[in-house]
Amino acid sequence: MIAVSDLHVTFNAGTPLERRAVAGIDLVLGEGEFVTVIGSNGAGKSTLLAAIAGDVFPRSGRIRIGDRDVTREAPAKRAARVARVFQDPLAGSCADLTIEENLALAFMRGSKRGFGPALKQERRSALRDKVKELGLNLENRMGDRMGLLSGGQRQALSLVMATLAGAEVLLLDEHTAALDPGMAEFVAGLTQRLVAAHGLTTLMVTHSMRQALDLGTRTIMLHEGRIVLDITGERRKNMGVDDLVEMFRRVRGGAELDDDSLRIG
Amino acid sequence: MSAIAFWGAVELGLVYGFVALGVFLAFRVLDFPDLTVDGSFPLGAAVAAVAITSGWDPWLACLIAALAGAACGLVTAFLNVRFGILNLLASILTMIGLFSVILRVMGRPNMAVLNQETVITPFLDLGLPDHIVRPLVLAVLVLIAVVLLARFLGSDFGLAMRAAGANPRMARANGVNVGGQIYVGMALSNALTGLGGALFAQVSGFADVTSGVGTIVVGLASVIVGETLLRSRVMLVALLACVIGSVIYRVAVQLALSMDLFFLRASDLNLVTAVLVALALVLPKIRAGKAVAR
């Protein structure tokens, strides 16, 4: 469960460069709810995720995860409950560590890391089974450096890593945007499967209107740091990409859609 | 080059093997360019020299030297993590300060550790010649350090340290306290260097406040030589390579000096080392085309 109340995040406060990235967001995600987030560049999508993850601290407002107020908690501390996958496939894993070392690292997220070997035999086979489930044939490359893999493979493994240590919340920041269409579709499908299997409360930022409607159970649109649209249930089911684009246009004051900021389809 | 000179070079290489391990930990694992070692090495030597000449047990002297080194690493880490001072600058500040600390510890710029009980002396009456015994004892000690360090870096904690150095953002997202890892890693790195200094004082028979100059470059040269000869992702091998690199570096220096190579003099050593390390750092980038792109 995530509860964000009256959240304000301001960058460079008190300087000429002051920017109010998040300007009063109230948002409650129920246990296991999967919400997609859309909005143009600078709407505050990534900042919202960063605030929930602890990368940026809000100027005011509260963030609760489960029954715990995490507003001022360091990112490493709340990592026990929050798993993340970044847009850049290079960001979510260590290129110089092997596949199994990366997985072992994620496996201990939120646990006390001791001085016992990280790659014990039973842990290795457990991790190998997880990778095998992907069907990407990576289970035979567990000793390969992560840096040798393609962006899609790394992103798929990042998703597996996110689910290894029993997080409550999953934050996805355009995690398919840097991938080729085939791999993006695979990772999107994998996301849906893993979220369902682990009952993760999920917030997914995306630039693809199609993906925003296809995945999850609820879609919110941000504009200038506020939630301007929140659709779910029947209304969302009956909505097509065209309707969403139309709403997007209206929100932006009728301005023409900027192709760079939004991918339709 | 005589056999005695050769074994002397091996001996020095093994002593500096501890420094190479420390530098590997700071530079390669934590990605922390750490000049503290230029201070923690002579501090280790000074602390051990004072302790031993005061009649303390030489092993206890080594332990105190390692702890002194660890304290230096903690100071640098504190300046960097707590106050956000650039890592390189933080380590230079510690290094400069240590010069005065070392003079305080010894009460003078240098002191002799001759005819004293050291970690080597118990093994000298086993029948082997002295110039063989010394490198043998040192080799055993450095091997123990290599095995322990490899086990450490292969543990859950060590893996978190490697992630903290390689990709801090990812490490944080996986619950790793990156600042904490820098404290522990820097302490360990400089503890190894301090221990190296303590052994240096015991096998060379003296401690000198100026003996730390260029420690970092020699350590880095050893790491690079080792990596060039023995590239491996197996941690044990990578660490062993650092020690072997250190020994090869010393033997090569000894060889060059004994052959009157070109027009080189002994005093040119620092310049040659600096040029070699610079080349070793630049060449892989040129090969990868990175330098051209900038």
What CATH number corresponds to the domain at position B166?
1.10.3470
Helix (H, G, I), strand (E, B) or coil at A29: strand
- Intervals of chain A under pLDDT 50: 256-257, 259-261, 263, 265
Is B172's Cβ below 8 Å from some Cβ in A?
A: yes
Are residues B170 and B75 part of one domain? yes
Q: What DSSP element (H or E) covers B37?
A: helix B37-53
Q: Are B40 and B69 in contact (CB under 8 A)?
A: yes
Q: DSSP code of A200? A: -
**Residue B73 is part of which domain span?**
3-259
Are residues B148 and B221 part of one domain? yes
Are residues B120 and B55 part of one domain? yes
Is A148's Cβ below 8 Å from some Cβ in B?
A: no
Model confidence, pTM: 0.89
What backbone torsions phi and psi does residue B265 show, to the nearest 5 degrees?
-115, 165
Please judge whether B160 and A115 are an interchain contact, meaning their C-beta atoms are less than 8 angstroms apart: no
Are residues B238 and B138 part of one domain? yes
- Nearest Cα of chain B lies from the Cα of A108 at a distance, in angstroms, of 8
Q: Which of A109, A113, A145 is nearest residue B157 as measured by Cβ atoms?
A: A113
Is B59's Cβ below 8 Å from some Cβ in A?
A: no
Assigned fold of A32-57+73-251: Rossmann fold (3.40.50)
Q: Are B171 and B178 in contact (CB under 8 A)?
A: yes
Distance from CA of residue B64 to its chain's centroid?
Answer: 17
Are residues B59 and B43 part of one domain? yes
Is B258's Cβ below 8 Å from some Cβ in A?
A: no
Are residues B249 and B201 part of one domain? yes
Question: How many domains would you assign to chain B?
Answer: 2
Q: What is the distance in angstroms between the CA of the first residue and the CA of the last residue of chain B?
A: 45
Are residues B294 and B174 part of one domain? no
- The residue of chain A nearest to residue B29, with distances taken between CA atoms, is A96
Question: Which 259-288 residues of chain B touch chain A by CB within 8 A?
Answer: none
* pLDDT on residue B261: 63
* pLDDT on residue A196: 93
- Intervals of chain B under pLDDT 70: 260-262, 287-294
| Amino acid, res. B7 | W
* Mean pLDDT for all residues in chain A: 90
Are residues B279 and B145 part of one domain? no
Distance from CA of residue B233 to its chain's centroid?
Answer: 21
Q: Helix A99-107 crosses helix A121-132 at what angle (to 10 degrees)? A: 100
Which tokens is B187 given?
């302490």
Is B231's Cβ below 8 Å from some Cβ in A?
A: no
- Nearest Cα of chain A lies from the Cα of B213 at a distance, in angstroms, of 32
Q: Which of B151, B170, B175 is nearest residue A80 as measured by Cβ atoms?
A: B175
Are residues B250 and B272 part of one domain? no
The residues, ordered by sequence, that sit 6+ positions from A244 with a Cβ below 8 Å of its Cβ are A38, A209, A212, A213, A219
Among candidates B230, B266, B264, which has minimal Cα distance to B247? Answer: B230
d(CA B191, CA B15): 13
